[in-house]
Amino acid sequence: DTEVTQTPKHLVMGMTNKKSLKCEQHMGHRAMYWYKQKAKKPPELMFVYSYEKLSINESVPSRFSPECPNSSLLNLHLHALQPEDSALYLCASSGGGRLAANTGELFFGEGSRLTVL
Amino acid sequence: AQSVSQHNHHVILSEAASLELGCNYSYGGTVNLFWYVQYPGQHLQLLLKYFSGDPLVKGIKGFEAEFIKSKFSFNLRKPSVQWSDTAEYFCAVNAAGASGTYKYIFGTGTRLKVLA
């Protein structure tokens, strides 16, 4: 079991739909991440939030919109996606205690498997 | 630009064989180094990490890794693999970019299959 919880585990959506992926952690971590992972590929960084502020956007298309409502929650809003956006979307967190927000090991959720039709 | 290279993309071993997976990174500054493992159908989890100090670090399940600064390497080793070690292994580097913000960069992964 992981201490980073992602919902839903599976999502199927059409290209005109609007949906959201949610991530929650209660480890007191101050950095949270969205990664995209295609089959047999490494995770690719999308966004980093540090102390609830967006600190890194890896040139992700605007059809992906992140949101960090508070230090425990991270959302990824999806709109007008393309079939090539189908992938496993991973949330991770890091940085607790005396560690700086975005150093230290990453704690990953189990991911949300997205299929865009 | 920072990068992480894993030279072995697929490795097949018999049980009890020794394992060494290579990882090289390109970054001149201070780095934190990690190996993550992804078992089939499971989430990514940490095997071991290096921040500073003894360059030989031990992780879970009998894995260890050696940081060789002069070679920019952080190779993963296990003296005797088990069937349950079948998984994908990712090397990762955490380093500060030009803006001072730390980023994690993952290697391309090594898919290990252990034959019983």
Is the sign of the CA dihedral B108, B112, A37, A117 positive or negative? positive
- Higher model confidence: residue B89 or residue B2? B89
B44 → closest Cβ in A44, A100, A108: A108
Residues of A in contact with B108 (CB under 8 A): 41-42
- Of A47, A43, A75, give the one whose Cα is nearest residue A61: A47
- The answer to whether the Cβ–Cβ distance between A50 and B101 falls below 8 Å is yes
Convert the pLDDT of each residue in A40-93 to its tens digit.
889 999 999 988 999 889 999 999 999 999 999 999 999 999 999 999 999 999
Per-residue confidence band for B73, with pLDDT thresholds at 50, 70 and 90 = very high
Convert the pLDDT of each residue in B50-59 to its tens digit.
988 999 999 9
What are A99's strand-pairing partners? none
Per-residue confidence band for A34, with pLDDT thresholds at 50, 70 and 90 = very high
Convert the pLDDT of each residue in A91-109 to its tens digit.
999 886 555 656 678 899 9
Chain A residue with the nearest C-alpha to that of B109 = A42
- Asked if the C-beta of B42 comes within 8 angstroms of chain A's C-beta atoms, the answer is yes
A42 → closest Cβ in B34, B43, B108: B108
A window 52-111, beta carbon within 8 A of B: 55-56, 90, 92, 100, 102-111
- State the Cα–Cα distance between residues A45 and A40, nearest whole angstrom: 16
Asked if residue A45 lies in contact with residue A56, where contact means CB atoms within 8 angstroms, the answer is yes
Residue A1 has pLDDT above 70, yes or no: no
Residues of A in contact with B49 (CB under 8 A): 105
- Of B85, B8, B12, B77, give the one whose Cα is nearest residue B48: B77
User: DSSP string covering B7-57, please?
Assistant: S-SEEEEETT--EEE--EEE-SS-EEEEEEEE-TTS--EEEEEE-SS-SEE
